[in-house]
Amino acid sequence: MELIPQAVALLLKWFQENKRVLPWREKREPYRVWVSEIMLQQTRVEAVKEYYLNFMERFPTVEALASAKEDEVLKAWEGLGYYSRARNLLKAAKQIAKEGFPSTYDGIRGLAGVGDYTAGAISSIAFSLPRPAVDGNVLRVMTRYFADDSNIDEPATKKNFTEVLRRAYPKEAGDFCEALMELGALVCVPNGAPYCGACPWQGLCKAHLSGDEERFPVRNEKKERKIVNATVCVLERDGKYALEKRGERGLLANLYEFPFFEGEADTASFGEVIAKKKAKHIFTHIEWRMTGYLIKAHKFFPQYEWRSAEEIVSSYAIPSAFKAFTDWIR
Ligand code: ADE
């Protein structure tokens, strides 16, 4: 399997003409590229843009980030999800501030929170190294191009296409890496028909030439999400609200929430219910179906921290899973 030079040239030309204007594309400086690639893990480009701009304003250099408190970084991350990314970012920033930004693939791969994909992306984009970044989007593009029915959930498939791409890498490493991502995001899309009429590879793509583009990629069947019913109690007393810190492990570890109970809770024992609403939040493997209650508490229950709305908004990172209920206090 080889990606021919003509395919590489067509893709680079397409990218020059069609790439989106994105804030992290203004300068390919390692710190900026690294932060953007961490934010883009598991999060859509549209959702990342504004966080990225705010984050760069708040922490313009790796030194500024390295000297921040974890709570400040979590606050800047509030709503982006997968918060271990923010903790790892801070951890890696401290290392980089001391030792400088690593400039080899292995050095980059060694940073906290950086896996194969992100190490490839940073290596290519910030250092022009011939290291592919291969994720589900790139595997979709590649399996269609070759009409290859390897299962993309198998590590051997990723390994194979990483090597195929590595052999094809042009000197414009950053553009090539981002062009593959861009093609997967804009043209060779999942779920339904891809936009083959707009694709620079329409004359080369085996899946397209045989009208089979929707047969690829082949992958494992999806597991169903576990459904968890829960009760969220927004307790208010004298303009203060009850918060608790989640446990050190598991979903949304160490972040703040309103008193949260799996299953039902005895709301009457807290006070008088003023409002009620339902909300759901979908995580990768779990779906929360929550019933929230706004309650006038009949005392300051001592197991909780009581904070004003202003304090919560300025200093506490409350996951967007609870957005429907934070709306009550804003
Ligand atoms: N997804 C991951 N990295 C990206 C990048 N640099 N540009 C656009 N989408 C991406």
Per-residue pLDDT of the chain (330 residues; tens, 9 = 90+): 999 999 999 999 999 999 999 999 999 999 999 999 999 998 999 999 999 999 999 999 999 999 999 999 999 999 999 999 999 999 999 999 999 999 999 999 999 999 999 999 999 999 999 999 999 999 999 999 999 999 999 999 999 999 999 999 999 999 999 999 999 999 999 987 899 999 999 999 999 999 999 999 999 998 899 999 999 999 999 999 999 999 988 889 889 999 999 999 999 999 999 999 999 999 988 999 999 999 999 999 999 999 999 999 999 999 999 999 999 997
In angstroms, the CA 32 to CA 25 distance is: 9
Query: What's the rounded Cα separation, in Å, for the pair 46 and 83?
Result: 18
- Which residues touch 11 (CB under 8 Å, ≥6 apart)? 176, 179, 180, 183, 200, 201
**Euclidean distance between CA atoms 190 and 217, whole angstroms:** 9
Query: Which residue has a Cα nearest atom 2 of ligand 1?
Result: 40
Residues facing residue 271 across a β-bridge = 297
The preferred substitution site among 25, 114, 180, 181 for testing ligand 1, maximizing ligand atoms within 8 Å of CB, is: 181
Catalytic residue among 17, 29, 37, 50: 37
User: Encoding tokens for residue 80?
Assistant: 């982006």
Distance from Cα 274 to the centre of ligand 1, integer Å: 44
| Predicted pLDDT at 169 | 97
Q: Is the CB of 181 under 6 A from ligand 1?
A: yes
Single pTM value for the model: 0.85
Query: What is the model's pLDDT at position 249?
Result: 86
Residue with CA closest to ligand 1 atom 6? 178
Radius of gyration of the chain (CA): 23
Gap between the Cα atoms of 121 and 106, Å rounded: 13
90 lines ligand 1 (CB under 6 A): no
The 10 Å Cβ neighbour count of residue 20 is 12
Q: What is the per-residue pLDDT for 301?
A: 97
- Nearest ligand 1 atom, CA 45: 9
Contacts of 43 (CB under 8 A, 6+ apart): 80, 81, 82
Is 37 marked active-site?
Answer: yes
Q: Which of 18, 29, 45, 183 to mutate to test the pocket of ligand 1 (most atoms within 8 A of CB)?
A: 45
Q: Hunting for tokens 């043209």 — which residue is that?
A: 187
Cβ of residue 179 lying under 6 Å from some atom of ligand 1? no
Contact 54, 80 (CB under 8 A): no
pLDDT at 162: 98
Secondary structure (3-state) at 147: coil
- Separation CA 245–CA 26 (nearest Å): 38
Q: What is residue 330's predicted lDDT score, i.e. its pLDDT?
A: 77
Q: What is the CA(40)–ligand 1 centre distance, in A? A: 6
* Cα 32 from Cα 269, distance rounded (Å): 50
Distances (CA, A) of 271 to 250, 256, 277, 295: 30, 22, 17, 6
Within 8 A by CB and 6+ apart from 281, the residues are 287, 288, 290, 320, 321, 322
Note the pLDDT of residue 296.
97
CA distances from 283 to 85, 110, 202, 254, 264 (A): 15, 27, 36, 17, 21
